[in-house]
Amino acid sequence: MTFVDGPVRVSVPATSANLGPGFDTLGLALDLRDTLEAEVTSGGLSVEVDGHGKGEVPLDESHLVVRAMQATFDRLGRSPAGLRLSCTNVIPHARGLGSSSAAIVGGVWLARELVAGGRLLLSDTALLDLAAQLEGHPDNVAPAMLGGFVISGQDADGVFFAVPGSVDPRVSAVVFVPPSPVSTAAARRLLPAQVPHADAAANAGRAALLVAALSGRPEELLRATEDRLHQDYRRPAMPESLELVDTLRAEGVPAVVSGAGPTVLAFTEGVGTASSAALAARCPSGWAMHQVAISHVGAALADAR
């Protein structure tokens, strides 16, 4: 048999990329998870969406999860007669929390699991490479697949790499999610083609410090999350987000724009602690707020319903 019997279910975490200075390189998995379930059928395509994106995303072959699944089936040389897909989305869309990466990672993972012997035919490394190709860069897909804190990039020959880092157990986060989205493409268009050498050097130092701060020196997170490469250039697209970042940082809180924004991520000392509660009280009116632990588990199979 080419495909497994019955449905397969996977959960995938939200992610925050950049983390201030680590532009297109650093990413962190957050314990806010989408759940996807798929099953090979005798024919046709059925897509159901609950939660974020319901009534907004397409329910046909252009759905991002379906496209990721099809790319994986093509890589495996398999072609199912039909598919049933169900998505329960907790990760907000177009907010800088890796919703598209979660969809891609969930899709490639589901497709591999639906093929009998899929893990022997497509390794985890090859699956991550495929997900990065579909997304265009690995900074979100790598932590979505691997969990935790990941340093990733692409070599000159086009090969993607992802190296897990460590996260001090004292580190958690609060995310402030504004009501209006900003597309990654729109945010990226605001970036200049060149930046001053001094800014690039400053960011390199801060990114290196951030790796150390997350792994065991959280007291250095405020200094380590300084950025000169992308956040301020994106201010016209998300002025309220950058205003919140500026306000929090002036008060000593390590706050950054999450990914391409407009969500603001602030590092804190554990979910439910006094510092997290104090930050939660700073949520602007009309915004959503989540106190989230760092997810040390990436994409993972879940029990099918």
- Let me know: does 229 contact 245? Beta carbons within 8 Å: no
Residue 65, token pair as written in the block: 């999860």
Residue 131, token pair as written in the block: 């997900």
92 annotated ligand binder: yes
| Most distant CA atoms of the chain, gap in Å | 61
96 annotated ligand binder: yes
Q: N- to C-terminal Cα distance for the chain? A: 23
95 annotated ligand binder: yes
81 annotated ligand binder: no
Q: How big is the chain, counted in residues?
A: 305
- Between strands 264-268 and 255-257, the pairing is antiparallel
Residue 240, token pair as written in the block: 């309220």
The CA-atom distances, in angstroms, between 260 and each of 27, 34, 44, 213, 230 are 12, 20, 36, 22, 9
**Residue 46 — φ and ψ, nearest 5°?**
-125, 125
Q: Residue written as tokens 């930050």?
A: 279
94 annotated ligand binder: yes
Four-point Cα dihedral 192, 194, 196, 198, nearest 10: 100
Q: Residue written as tokens 């996260």?
A: 167
Amino acid 227 reads: D
101 annotated ligand binder: yes
Residues contributing to the annotated binding site for ATP: 92-102
Residues contributing to the annotated binding site: 92-102
